[in-house]
Amino acid sequence: MLSRTRTSAVAVAAALALTVTAGLAVTGAQAAGSKSSGSKSSGPAWTAAWAASPQRASAGFKPNWSEDGFSGQTLRQVVRVTEGGDRARIRLSNAYGTSPLHIAGATIARTKKGAAVEEGSVRRLTFGGRGSVEIPAHGQLSSDEAGLNLKRFESVTVTLHLARTTGPVTFHAQSFATSYRAEGDRLGDAGAAAFDESTESWYLLSGVDVRGGREGGGGERAARRDSGIVLFGDSITDGFASSTDLNRRWSDALAERLAKAGKPRPVLNAGIGGNLVLNDSAWYGERGTARFGRDALDLPGVGTVVVLEGLNDIGFSESDTPTYKPAPKVSAEELIAGHRKLIRAAREKGVRVVGATLLPLGGSDHYGERAAKVSDEFNEWVRTSGEYDAYVDFDRALADPEDGERIAPEYDSGDHLHPNDAGYRAMARAVDLADL
């Protein structure tokens, strides 16, 4: 359960990095969180309804297209929004690109099944009024808005035509959702026949935002503009071992629980498998303290962030994982110092920040006497320090009653580190909704 602790949050203006998009100077906040340059409409602020944290191109654990990129192809990706509205836009990221990225065209539509979309729902997207756009190296941008009524928990399909050779592309390695590729320009296809290649990663797409509409779907009042919840962390937040294409990560379970309780709020997933608080990795993204602003605090409409991260910092040095070596031996004090940086950053933005204890790791490849000791010390700090605004105790919620060092068998995916679908639902149940 979440435990309230007393804090004083002070909102401080943050310096904004300059991003140049489509030949226009746009601040980082505009690119991520406010009206797209070139959009002439006015109205309610945007709310992030879905998000994925960008990563540099890498081989990953499963075959993906990030290192080869795309050339004369159409990419189709399916995501589920956790907020509804009558207007939508997409956010694209070339954060790790070393050259400009040309988008020849883009659409958004309601998903039918697999790579198929509902006929009549396809909306051509524009960027500053143009049908194509160039994203500069290391840049990001938002599309103009499109009129598309979306209900909460509806799946939407974003299609990108990549006519030119891209080279390696920014992506999100582990989507636990299927993405599709076709040769040529297939933007106008409602059917799935041409999309005969697939992977389980997302490419270039970092967000879907919504606004407008009195309700968020299902007859429920739409969430307040500042009520979005970001879950920030590593593979457990990312949803590792959850069922592909079924939206059974703990972020999905929490959004569903909030809606069922009559307290609907957007829930955004900012997990990256293998991510660390303190160190960068070629496979596992920039360290948490470096990406926290971009991937969590700067998303439009965010009011709360839940931080669950540190198992890899303390566990990689115990394992034989060849993708992160040499792994430093991190102390509880060092890990806590990293979390304090996250807390300070959230407070400067006026965002509520909730900590989480690390899950049991006994029996996993991250387990060892030193890692167990550091985990216990860190978890005790989360519970007793009062430095987070509140905390959720996943360690106790998922522990085996017969052996507190291990995940309970009914919640264990089999590697003794990651929960299964039932375990992710148990994580959502462990949260005291009133304290969010």
pLDDT digit string, tens, across residues 367-415:
999 999 999 999 999 999 999 999 999 999 999 999 999 999 999 999 9
Structural domain harbouring 95: 35-45+55-208
Q: Name the percent of the chain lying above pLDDT 70.
A: 87
Please state the rounded mean pLDDT for residues 158-173: 98
Check which CATH number belongs to the domain holding 288 and give it: 3.40.50.1110
Residue 21 has pLDDT above 50, yes or no: no
In a domain, 187, yes or no: yes
State whether 269 and 383 are in the same domain. Answer: yes
Residue 37 has pLDDT above 90, yes or no: no
Residue 224 has pLDDT above 90, yes or no: no
Average model confidence (pLDDT) for the chain? Answer: 90
Please state the rounded mean pLDDT for residues 58-84: 96
Residue 34 has pLDDT above 90, yes or no: no
Q: What is the pLDDT of residue 7?
A: 37
- Final residue of a domain: which of 153, 174, 208? 208
Residue 23 has pLDDT above 90, yes or no: no
In a domain, 30, yes or no: no
State whether 154 and 228 are in the same domain. Answer: no
- Final residue of a domain: which of 156, 180, 208? 208
In a domain, 19, yes or no: no
Residue 192 has pLDDT above 60, yes or no: yes
Q: What is the number of H-type helices and E-type strands within the chain? A: 9, 28
CA atoms within 13 A of residue 255's CA, in its CB half-sphere: 29
Please state the rounded mean pLDDT for residues 37-59: 81
Convert the pLDDT of each residue in 300-342 to its tens digit: 999 999 999 999 999 999 998 788 988 999 999 999 999 999 9
Q: What is the pLDDT of residue 126?
A: 98
Q: What is the pLDDT of residue 68?
A: 97
State whether 231 and 114 are in the same domain. Answer: no
Instruction: Kindly state the tokens that stand for 393.
Output: 């105790």
Convert the pLDDT of each residue in 403-430 to its tens digit: 999 999 999 999 999 999 999 999 999 9
28 pLDDT band (50/70/90 cuts)? very low
- Domain count within the chain: 2
In a domain, 18, yes or no: no
State whether 240 and 176 are in the same domain. Answer: no
Residue 43 has pLDDT above 90, yes or no: no
Q: Are 2 and 390 in contact (CB under 8 A)?
A: yes
Convert the pLDDT of each residue in 277-298 to its tens digit: 999 999 999 999 999 999 999 9
State whether 245 and 304 are in the same domain. Answer: yes
In a domain, 403, yes or no: yes
State whether 295 and 418 are in the same domain. Answer: yes
Q: What is the pLDDT of residue 60?
A: 86
Q: Residue 237: CB partners within 8 Å, gap ≥ 6?
A: 231, 249, 250, 251, 269, 270, 271, 308, 309
In a domain, 21, yes or no: no
State whether 162 and 258 are in the same domain. Answer: no
Count of residues for the chain? Answer: 436
Task: Give bridge partners of residue 349 from the DSSP assignment.
Answer: 11
Q: If we measure between CA atoms, which residue out of 227, 260, 248, 256 comes closest to residue 436?
A: 227
Q: How far is CA 118 from CA 110, 197, 217, 219, 283, in A?
A: 6, 20, 18, 22, 36
Q: What is the pLDDT of residue 12?
A: 29
- What is the reported pTM? 0.90
Convert the pLDDT of each residue in 88-134 to its tens digit: 999 999 999 999 999 999 999 999 999 999 999 999 999 999 999 99
